[in-house]
Amino acid sequence: MSDSWIADRMRLIDASGIRKVFDLAANMQNPVNLSIGQPHFDTPEPVKAAMHKAVDEGKNAYSQTQGIKPLLDLIQGSINEEYGHADRQAFVTSGTSGGLMLALCTLVNPGDEVIVFDPWFVMYKHLTTLAGGKFVQVSTYPDFRIDISKVEAAITDKTKVILFNSPANPTGAVASEEEVKQLAELCRDRNIALVSDEIYRAFCYDRPFVSPAKYNDQTIVIDGFSKSHSMTGWRVGWCHGPAHIVQQMMKLQQFTFVCAPHPAQWAAIEAWNYDVTKWVDEYREKRDFLKSELSSHFDVHGAEGAFYMFLPAPGGSGTEFVKRAIENNLLIIPGNVFSPTDTHFRISYAASQETLAKGAEILRKLASDMN
């Protein structure tokens, strides 16, 4: 087999970031694991029961590309009530990542620029590459707030998309209403597509969630059940946006993902009506616990939503700090997985209270030793 068979785009996609961390961690025995990017609770029992029922009833073939009507009706009705946009259409995607891929491949021509906020979710860079776009980063360091003047300065005549994520992975930052409004209006005024990744929408602890679709009716929103209902492996998300964009995304889904997993869509109906407030409250308490445990040794910014903290590494190198953490049986993720700046590390508090307490103790000790 010839290496020349490999497409050029694959040489631009580096899958080594998190893999290197787990290579280092391969020999860890019962690690204190604060690296997991998914909820630590199981899928709710009524949702699992609905999945079993759907399978038993034979709902195992393809569904319509856009999703099953009962689920679509719930999503569309909620969106209509929230936004009241005459032209806003929803469809069911194969997870949030599937929705992101469809959006970028629908919107981006080779050479078009996609603005993202640094640090960013790992998938954004590589999906932009897949679509043939140029990845343009706007820094939000050190406090992970959006400076609209920096966004304006990054716009060129090739800017096609701004990709926005709040609550954010890896920082846990939740954009203020003013930040969201300014960004939405800038995209509207400059005729730039705004894609809003709202997968952590349910997890806001200090301020209400605000979608840019409130201020820009052309915003393309991507959301899903993965994080809110611990359904990461079920691959059911949804997208809503201007009908002419959504129609093109559905066309592409027909020839890629075909549809979201059919029985999981029926289970998602149950999930839609399942109250996740208890888990949101639990994660708020976990966030508060870690802030109280770590604020004496680390500058904590962001951490207002999702279940992440993105902390500056003592000694200045995220990679070196993570190596030291792994030597002390603590598994965390270096910041250079999410950013060209290797100054931070990510922890996830989607873990048991015992694990959080152990992790906080190790982090404080490492910080004291390295400062």
Contact predicate 210/177, CB 8 Å: yes
Quick one: which of 152, 116, 146 has its CA closest to 134? 116
**Range scoring the smallest mean pLDDT among 92-96, 154-158, 204-208, 366-370:** 366-370
- pLDDT value, residue 4: 82
The 10 Å Cβ neighbour count of residue 266 is: 21
Q: Which whole-number Å values give the CA distances from 233 to 33, 34, 126, 281, in the listed order?
A: 20, 20, 21, 23
Digit-coded pLDDT (tens) for 102-132: 999 999 999 999 999 999 999 999 999 999 9
Q: Which CATH number fits domain 62-272: 3.50.50.60, 1.20.1560.10, 1.10.3720.10, 3.40.640.10?
A: 3.40.640.10
Confidence band (pLDDT; 50, 70, 90) for 96? very high
Contact predicate 367/300, CB 8 Å: no
Question: Is the torsion defined by CA of 110, 111, 115, 119 positive or negative?
Answer: positive
Instruction: Round the CA-based radius of gyration of the chain to a whole number and report it.
Output: 21
Domain ranges of the chain: 3-43+276-370, 62-272
Confidence band (pLDDT; 50, 70, 90) for 24? low
Q: Is the pLDDT of residue 224 over 90?
A: yes
- pLDDT value, residue 15: 66
Q: Is the pLDDT of residue 1 over 60?
A: no
Q: Which CATH number fits domain 3-43+276-370: 3.40.605.10, 3.90.1150.10, 2.60.40.1180, 3.30.70.1450?
A: 3.90.1150.10
Distance CA 173, CA 169 (A): 8
- pLDDT value, residue 51: 97
- pLDDT value, residue 16: 58
Distance CA 347, CA 172 (A): 10
The residue-averaged pLDDT of 259-272 equals 97
Contact predicate 269/74, CB 8 Å: yes
- pLDDT value, residue 129: 94
